[in-house]
Chain A
Amino acid sequence: MSKVRVLVGTRKGAFILTADGKRDKWDVSGPHFAGWEMYHLKGSPADPNRVYASQTSGWFGQIIQRSDDGGRIWHQPGTPPGETPAPGPPKAVSNKFVYDSAAKPLTTHQWYDGTQHPWEFKRVWHLEPSLTDPDTVYAGVEDAAIFRSTDGGKNWKELPGLRGHGTGPKWQPGAGGMCLHTIILDPSNPQRIWIAISAAGAFRTDDGGKTWKPINRGLRSQYIPDPNAEIGHCVHHIAMNPSRPGILFMQKHWDVMRSDDAGDNWREISGNLPTDFGFVIDVHAHEPETIYVVPIKSDGEHYVHEGKLRVYRSRTGGNEWEALTKGLPQSNCYVDVLRDAMAVDSLDKCGIYFGTTGGQVYASADAGDSWAPIVRDLPGVLSVEVQTLA
């Protein structure tokens, strides 16, 4: 029977939630890495037992963790616990993220006050394992850049073409920092990758990461001097159904957007949403025109609108939205749902999952018609991913 494994990153540790295909009884494992900020965990599509995790701390910096057994036992790649290291320089430094100095002319980006500021590594926001090779994994980091490991996370190398393509001095941090938070791999074209940065915008490579181009035509942002600029848009998240590569859905700071041409052009699909500010967006696993968002009141009030936790679903690819409320609190609720905190499984009846800053993880086993909490009282949730297991 099929199973699902939900990987939850929180402000104080990671949790792994498992259930059978009915998704009504859950086992909860954790906290793993108790006390650490767990920005993101994600399993390899090529080997579901291979799970990567980003463990961070303002005191101790970045750690990369890896499990080869579905999240029971973890280690820092290249430094197995309990082994005495061989003499000499280490062969693996899995938490060493050093910007490539070849990424000229990028030594600075724009700071909050408009002055130039040097790139400084802070943390890994997002880990995206390869679709075909368990040892290849991409990392989106703050300050914004993309790194790749081809040895299971032991060593990391920047793909410098992204920062080096020319607009970097105009990139600026959003409220959460200047983070590269979205990485989407094209299942139909291994040379194509989409990424998104707050607040620079969306970019695409068509040559495996050597060169990148901004893909922000159609985005409009009132908080930058030229609202239609090529760069500077605060893209919060992008989602794509793997069965339709190139059809992209975006939750921008404000505005929900759609592209039908791999990001070359975007159009707004906010339609009848009560507010189109938000962070998460995702696509039904089997109905590629069915999309989900969680509207947040505003960028000054990072909680749900009217004290009601509502997921909005569009079955028409945008513009026409319905509120999904069954099982969700409809009064006195003031949580947020952060950008990487929604995921969908691929069971026949698509499951939708999201986590809140209040520590609840909700699941719907019927594509959003009804919801139930898996857990209610975790630390604030930073990310949610789900693995559908045979």
Chain B
Amino acid sequence: MIRVALPYHLRTLAQLRSDVEVEVAGPVTQRSVLDALEARYPMLRGTIRDHVTQQRRPFLRFFACEEDLSHEPPDAPLPDAVASGKEPFIVIGAIAGG
């Protein structure tokens, strides 16, 4: 199972209290993880990726294993620790304001 950590407002939208776990068949990539997440929680469609382009929304970032993966290709494999469920794939709001 892949662990996904969502920002507070998306957890609220999906009525989640903590990290979510999703099952991914095949390679574990940003795309496959987010596809699985959106299939389980359709209310999140369009909130992380644009409906049409499937691009990451500009004010969101993707982190895992203390690395910024925001600009990695969507089909690049995620770190083994994410694929094994040891570390979460983190969706986080970009810092803005002060």
Contact = CB atoms under 8 A, between A and B. Distances in A.
Judged by DSSP, the binding face of B is loop
A90 B35 CA distance: 12
B59 A63 contact: no
Interface stretch (B20-28, B38-46, B62-70, B72-80): B38-46
Interface string B49-72: 011100001011000000000000
Nearest to B52: A98
A127 B40 CA distance: 28
- Interface centre among A35, A58, A59, A62, by most B CB within 10 Å? A59
Question: Which of A36, A63, A78, A82 is most buried by chain B, counting CB atoms within 10 A of its CB?
Answer: A63
Contact of A96 (B9, B40, B51, B94): B51
A95 B59 contact: no
Contact residues on B (Cβ < 8 Å of other chain), bracket: 20 to 34
Interface of A: 35-36, 57-63, 76, 78-79, 81-82, 84-85, 87, 90, 93, 95-96, 98
A93 B51 contact: yes
Contacts of B48: 60
A60 B47 contact: yes
Contacts of A81: 15, 43
Interface of B: 7-10, 13, 15, 39-40, 42-43, 45-48, 50-52, 57, 59-60, 93-94, 96
A60 B49 CA distance: 9
A95 B57 CA distance: 14
B40 A95 contact: no
A96 B47 contact: no
A35 B9 contact: yes
Contacts of B46: 61-62, 93, 95-96
Nearest to A80: B43
Contacts of A98: 51-52
Contacts of B8: 35
A35 B47 CA distance: 15
Given A59-B60, A63-B43, 10 more contacts: A59-B7, A59-B57, A59-B59, A59-B96, A79-B42, A90-B42, A93-B46, A95-B51, A96-B51, A98-B52
A351 to B, nearest CB: 33
Q: Which 4 A-B pairs have the closest CB atoms?
A: A60-B47, A59-B59, A79-B43, A59-B93
A84 B7 CA distance: 21
B39 A60 contact: no
24 contacts: A35-B8, A36-B9, A58-B59, A58-B96, A59-B94, A60-B10, A60-B13, A60-B57, A60-B60, A61-B57, A62-B46, A63-B13, A76-B43, A78-B42, A81-B43, A82-B15, A87-B39, A93-B45, A95-B46, A95-B47, A96-B46, A96-B51, A98-B51, A98-B52
